[in-house]
Structure 1
């Protein structure tokens, strides 16, 4: 299994957790929005790895946008869920 695929599983799982109503929001608030910064960095690393492996970059780009706009409560939850779906599907179908 490629490193980009592993990173997509990890970031997709984290995004799914952050998209859980109230629980994800409480986690983000309790970290002082640090969780969003960590997720931005993880998506950036995943993007760079996917670029080097000539893989799909869409999920990582959406994830970086999500990390920025997720300070808006309801929009953030929706974006986390969408990002999780994109990343997890990409990790499942990407065999590189």
Structure 2
């Protein structure tokens, strides 16, 4: 479950990190996507803790979505968080498949 949540949250972070598109989505929806992502990262953190998976991406996601209202900082942090979450999901997925 943690791997799936990391893939989903990483993909959404990547979407929000795309210049102009991510900012337009966030502003058009009155910053509601940041709240949704914050909740998703908290849920992912809880599941990762329960399953013993890496929590770094989720913690960074929480920080990102509390600071993402700052225009260029938010974009950069969304991209960094997306990369970390997607790498973490890939690594956790490989460990799950291998044993």
Do these two structures clear the TM 0.5 threshold for a shared fold by scoring above it? yes
CA RMSD of aligned residues (A): 0.5
* TM-score, normalised via structure 1 length: 0.97
Larger Rg: 2
Determine which of 42, 45, 56 is the counterpart of 1:44.
42
Mapped pair 1:74 → 2:58: no
Q: CA deviation at 1:5?
A: 0.3
Higher helix share: 2
Q: 1:58 aligns with which of 36, 49, 56?
A: 56
Instruction: Give unmatched runs, 5+ long, in structure 2.
Output: none
Task: Tell me how far apart the structure 1 counterparts of residues 39 and 6 of structure 2 sit (CA, whole Å).
Answer: 13
> Aligned residue pairs: how many?
94
Q: Provide TM-score, normalisation by structure 2.
A: 0.94
Which runs of 5 or more residues in structure 1 are unaligned?
Answer: none
